[in-house]
Every structure is written in structure tokens, then in C-alpha cells.
Amino acid sequence: MVGDVVSLLVALAAVGIGLLGIRRHARGRAKRVWPALLGTIVGGVVALAAAVLLLASL
């Protein structure tokens, strides 16, 4: 249960940082958008999986 909460928090942080990277690319301050885009997508998938596992363990 603790691992699910920790992984959910880390995944949400990955989504947030990925969105910041996408915003930086849109403003012209970053050259590459793929790392930020992949971090956002993977973070979202992990957040969804962690939320499902957390709810299943309650």
C-alpha cells in the first residue's frame, strides 16, 4: 500500500515536470519535446496503474 502511494506521487510528479517541459518547448526555450512528451505519457500510465492498484488494495 505504501509503495502504491509513493509510485502514484512520483508518477504525478513526472506528469507535472513533463508538462513543464512541453510548455518550455512551446515557448521556444527547449529544443526537444520528445523527452517531455514521453515522460508525461509514461507518468500518466503509471499514475493510472498505481491508482487502480491502490484502490484494489483498500
The ranges assigned to domains in the chain are: 2-56
At residue 28, the 3 state secondary structure works out as coil
At residue 31, the 3 state secondary structure works out as coil
- The pLDDT value recorded for residue 20 is 97
- The pLDDT value recorded for residue 28 is 96
- The pLDDT value recorded for residue 55 is 95
Per-residue pLDDT tens over the stretch 3-35? 999 999 999 999 999 999 999 999 999 999 999
- Across the range 32-51, mean pLDDT stands at 97
pTM of the model: 0.90
- Across the range 39-44, mean pLDDT stands at 98
- The pLDDT value recorded for residue 33 is 96
Counting every residue written for the chain, the total comes to: 58
